[in-house]
Structure formats: C-alpha cells, structure tokens
Amino acid sequence: MRVVFRFVIAALWMSAIGQAGAQGAPGFDGGVTETLQSIYIPPLVGEPFSAVVHTEWVRFMPGGGSYTMVNQRRVARDGRGRIYEERWLLVPKDSGVQSRMNVVQIADPSEHTLYNCFVFERRCTLLKFAEPAMNKYMPPVIPSGPLEGGKGFTTHLDLGVRTIAGLDTTGTRETTTLNPGAIGNDRAFVTVREFWQATEIGVNLLSTVDGPQTGQQTFRVSDVSLTEPDPELFRLPAGYEVLDRRLKPGAPMTRAPE
C-alpha cells in the first residue's frame, strides 16, 4: 500500500482540567490524546495555488448528542512545489472562543526539508521531507473487493463531476466495512470516505470522513487562487530558534534572521 506524507494537526482544545501529559493529568487516570489529519497537499511542480481550509469535526456522545470542533487555516504551494501550511487550534463551534495559530509548516521537496515552526515557543524544528517534487499527482484508489484475511470489504463508487470554488472536481466515495471481531468490534464497523478532487492542483476541495472512530470530519477549501503565492510565506519566521532534528540530539540551535 502506498504511504503518503500528511501534515498533522497536533493541537486540540484543552479541557477544563488542562492538557494531560504523557502520564495523564495530575491526580487523574486515563484520558486520550488525539490528532486530526487534514487534507493532503502534494509537492506538485508548476501548479501554484493558495486557499483557506475550513475544518469541522463532529464527535458523538454516548446516549445521544454531539460536540463540534472547528478551525480554519491558510495554505499555499508555489511553482517549485514548496508547501506552506498554518495550523490553528481547534475550538468549540459557536462558543465565542477564538482560535490561535500555533504552528507554521514549510516543506521544500527539492531541499528535502520540513520546518515545523511553533509560534508560542518561537522555535522551528527541521525534519527531513521525504517526498520528491512531482510533475503529476493521482490520488490512491482503493478498489471494491474483500479485505485481507476476510476481515471485511470495501466498496468504491465514482460520483461524477461538480464545480467547487470555481474548479472542476471529480468525486469518489469509498465505504469500508469491517466484520464483527476484526478489530475488537462486536458489530459491523462502517467508515465512509468521500472526496472531490480538483485534478488541476491535485487537492481535494471537499472531503468528508464518517466513522465510529473518527466521528464526522469535513474539510472544505475556499478562496482558491491559482496565482503564485507571496515568496515571503516560504521564509522562516524572523528570530525563531532552529533545531535541526536531522542531526544528533543536543546539536546547537541557530536563529532565523530578524
């Protein structure tokens, strides 16, 4: 199975008792630390764009009801395939709580670099970006048929063409059903993934995931521009310390120019 690089939203809304560390909040047992995967942006050369990604994550409560987290963020890719993404904290929908940008990510497929710049700490970590620059991108397709080991089956459905944000997109729906007992489940476990891809830029402009583990996740792209984005987006934030994680632990930091 082809593995694709995905940027990860690493911050969720803190509960009233505060954010739990690796060993849990002081005085409390249990809890879960989760991350939400957002849209995938391939390092496609010659197809610059910029846009705003809107995320809505609905989680369902036992016995009925739900709670919803939201954010929106700016993304861009230049003609060289470099990728810029902002990360903003998820906040409760319609709560009046203001989201804040906590991470800026800059990837360069030619230099094989990925900078994660943490706004609150004013620090960037440098990692290796493994994906090469691409001249063409086709999303992975899961065909209809049984899953390995008889654990369930997948159904693939082509949804046709529709216009989103001024671009033609092609729709796909993939439904995966896991049989009882496949992953500890006591009944059929169904996950539906639907996405509408703009082939011109290789990005899904509308994507939804609906399943027992994920809840309902909706990613919608708006304000799409196909012009070359501002080159300043791909410069490190001024004055941030840079820690090269490609080196051995304890390597000295550098500082981005002011």
Pick from 115, 54, 102, 47: which is nearest to 76 by CA?
A: 47
Domain contains 220:
yes
- Burial bucket for residue 12 (CB in 10 Å: 0-12, 13-18, 19+): middle
Residue-level pLDDT at 68:
96
Statement: residue 195 has pLDDT above 90? yes
Q: Say yes or no to pLDDT of 233 above 70.
A: yes
In-domain check, residue 184? no
Mean pLDDT over 21-42 rounds to 72
Q: What is the pTM of this model?
A: 0.83
Q: Would 69 be classed as within a structural domain?
A: yes
Let me know if residue 76 belongs to a domain: yes
Q: 38 versus 6: which is more confidently predicted?
A: 38
Residues 220 and 203: their CA atoms lie apart, in Å, by: 11
Adjacent-strand bridge partners of 176: 154, 191
Inside any domain, residue 158? no
Residue 210 lies in a domain: yes
Query: Distance between CA 154 and CA 227 in Å, rounded?
Result: 38
- Predicted confidence band of residue 28 (pLDDT cuts 50, 70, 90): confident
User: What 3-state class would DSSP assign to 249?
Assistant: coil
The residue segments making up the domain with residue 40 are 8-16+31-135+204-255
Provide the 3-class DSSP secondary structure of residue 215. Answer: strand
**Domain-embedded: residue 182:** no
Residues 80-90 have a mean pLDDT of 97
pLDDT classification of 19: cutoffs 50, 70, 90: very low
Residue with tokens 């987006």: 233
CATH label of the domain that carries residue 220: 2.50.20
Buried b (16+ CB within 10 A) or exposed e, 175-198: bbbbbeeeeeeeeebebebbbbbb
CA 140, distance to chain mean position in Å, is: 16
pLDDT for 140 equals 85
Q: Is 176 a domain residue? A: no
In percent, how much of the chain has pLDDT > 70?
A: 84
Q: What share of the chain is helix, strand, coil (3-state, %, to 5)?
A: 5, 50, 50
pLDDT given at position 250: 55
Q: How far apart are CA 121 and CA 124, in angstroms?
A: 9
Confidence (pLDDT) at 32? 67
**Would the pLDDT of 178 be above 90?**
yes
Residue 5 has pLDDT above 70, yes or no: no
Looking at residue 203, its pLDDT comes to 97
Inform me whether the pLDDT recorded for 73 exceeds 90. yes
Number of structural domains (the chain) is 1
Does residue 235 register a pLDDT over 90?
Answer: yes
Average pLDDT of the chain to the nearest whole number: 86
Model confidence at 10: pLDDT above 80: no
Which amino acid is residue 80, in one-letter code?
A: R
Mean pLDDT along residues 59-69: 92
| pLDDT over 80 at 94, yes or no | yes
pLDDT digits (tens, 9 = 90+) for 110-151: 999 999 999 999 999 999 999 999 999 988 888 999 999 889
Residues 240-251 pLDDT 10s = 999 998 866 555
